[in-house]
Structure 1
Amino acid sequence: MDGLAEDRSVADMPAVDVLVVDDHAVVRAGCRRLLEPPLGRFRVVEAADGPSALALVERDPPALVILDLNLPGSPTGLDLVRQLVALGPPVLVFSMHEAPSVVARCLEAGVRGYLCKSDDPAVMAGAAETVLEGRLWLDHRMACAVAALGPGRPQRDVDAPLPEREGEIMRLLAETAELDSVARRLGISYKTLANTLVRLRNRYGVRRTADLVRIAVRQLDETLPG
C-alpha cells in the first residue's frame, strides 16, 4: 500500500523538464529511467555534448541541468559549468570524478549539487528534487571531505598542464592501454609506472586505471585537428 501511495504522489506532482548531458547513450537512458515516472516526476531531454546543451538551454531553458564533466567538444568541464550557470538553470553535476578538490571547484563555479557515478542510483531523483527546492545536494561523505579541505586551501586544477613524464604516460595510455607496453616504451619499471598511475588517478579523482585510460583517450582526441 505504501508503494502505491508513493507512486500516486509522484504521478500527481507537476512534471518538470530536466536536461541530462552525457556523451554515453546508456548513461542517459539510465538517468531517464531514474528520473521519469514512476521513480521521479521529470521529463528528460538529452544532450551528448557541451554545444548541444548550451543550445538547448538557450532555446528552451529546463528547470534543471544534470551534467557530466567529461564531454566531447568545446566548451568542456568547468567552462561549460560556468556558462550553463550563467544561463540560469541550476546545475547538478553527475561525474566519475570523486576527488573532493574537483567537487569544491564545481561548487565554486556555481553548481547546486554533485553526484558521483559510483553513488546509489536511487538517490538521483531525490538529489534533483533537493536542487530544485533551492537547496544544495551533497552526500555526507563528500560534504565532510570537501569541508576538510579548509577555506582558502589551493585546489588542484585538473586542467593544468601535466609534468612532462605524466603527460607522456597519458598519451601512451590513450594509444595502447597496455601497462607493460607503456613501461617498456618509456624505459621505466612497472613499479615506477604504477606509482605514477596512483598520482594520476588521484589527480583526476578516479579509482580505476580503466577510467584513467578513458580520460587519456578524450584528451588525445581534443588535441587532434578537426
Structure 2
Amino acid sequence: MIRVLLADDHAAVRAGLRFLLESAADLQVVAEVGDGASAVERARALRPDVVLMDVRMPGTDGITATAAITAEGLAEVLVLTTFDLDDYVTGALGAGAAGYLLKSAEPHELLDAVRRVADGDGVLAPEVTRRVIRALAAAAPASTTPPASTPPSEPEPAKVTRVAGLTPRERDVLAALGRGLTNQQIATELFVSAATAKTHVSRVLMKLGVTSRVQAALVARDAGEHLRGSSGA
C-alpha cells in the first residue's frame, strides 16, 4: 500500500484527489492539509511514502515545504500544480521534488506518477520536460572535446571529489541516472532486481548529499569523463 499525504489549499481539489487516489487498491490517503507548514508537520508525524504537493499555498509555500521534507528524508514529493512556470519547475526540482506534474494531467497519468515516485523514479510533465532539457543543455559545456592543440584536462577537483566515494557499481548507477533511466531500466542494464536498483539509487543519493534523481543527474553531468572513465563496468 502506497501512503499519500495531500497538500493543497483548496478543499474541493483535495476531495477530488482523495476520491481518485483511493479508487486505486494500492493507494491510501493518510492525511490532507491546506498549507506547507502543515504538510511538513504531518509528514514528520506520519512518514508517508509520497506527498502530493501544490506550489501556491498560504503561509509556507509548496517549494519551501518540499525542501524541508526532502532534507529530512520524510517522504518523496510529487509536485502537482496548475502552473508550469520555469521558476516553479526549477525551484521544485532544486528543492528535491521527485516529480512535477500539472493538474491538467489525466487521472491515469497521476496515479502512475504517484506509483513511480513511490518506487524511486522521477516524473516530469510533458509540458515542462523539454524546458528542463534545454536548461540542462544550456548549463552544460559547449563541447566536451578539447581542441587538438590542447591536452585533455583533468576534471576539476571538486567534481572528482563528488564521486570519489562511490563504488564502481554506484558509479554505474549514477551514470544511468545521468541518462535519465528509471529504476527498472537500471535493474535491466545492471542485471539486478528492481529492489536492488532502488537500494543502489538511494545509496548514491545519500553519498552525494542530494535529495532527488534530478540533482544526481546534474552531478553525473558535472563529473563527465571522470565518472565514465572510473566506472568498473
In the alignment, which residue of structure 1 is the partner of 2:188? none
User: How far is 1:108 from its partner?
Assistant: 1.6
- 1:51 alignment counterpart: 37
In the alignment, structure 1 segments of 5+ residues that lack a partner are 1-14, 154-226
The RMSD of aligned alpha carbons is: 1.7
Give structure 2 stretches of 5+ with no counterpart.
140-233
Note closer, same or farther for the CA distance 1:40–1:144 as it changes in structure 2 (3 Å cut). farther
Contact kept in structure 1, 2:39 and 2:65, CA below 8 Å: no
Q: Which amino acid aligns with 1:145?
A: R
- Counting matched residue pairs gives 137
Q: How does 1:1-226 map to 2 (within 5 A)?
A: 15-37=1-23, 39-44=24-29, 45-73=31-59, 75-88=60-73, 89-151=75-137
Q: Quick one: distance in 2 between partners of 1:144 and 1:99?
A: 13
Instruction: Give the 3 Å change call, closer, same or farther, for CA 51–105 of structure 1 in structure 2.
Output: closer
The offset of 1:151, in angstroms, is 4.8
**What is the Cα deviation at residue 106 of structure 1?**
1.2
- Sequence identity, in percent? 34
Runs of 4+ aligned structure 1 residues displaced above 6 Å come to: none
Asked whether the 8 Å contact 1:34–1:124 carries over to 2, the reply is no
What code does the residue aligned with 1:58 have? R
* 1:46, distance to aligned residue in structure 2 (A): 0.6
- TM superposition score normalised by structure 2: 0.55
Distance 1:26 1:53 in 2: 17
| Letter aligned with residue 43 of structure 1 | Q
- SS of structure 1 residue aligned to 2:84: coil
- Distance in 1 (CA, whole Å) between partners of 2:36 and 2:125 is 26
> What CA distance in whole angstroms lies between the structure 2 residues aligned with 1:151 and 1:102?
19
- Structure 1 partner of 2:222: none
The one-character-per-residue Cα deviations of 1:78-136 (angstroms, maximum 9, x if unpaired) are 22110111221110000111123421221121100011112223311100001011110
Query: 1:40 deviation in Å?
Result: 5.0
SS in 2 for 1:134: coil
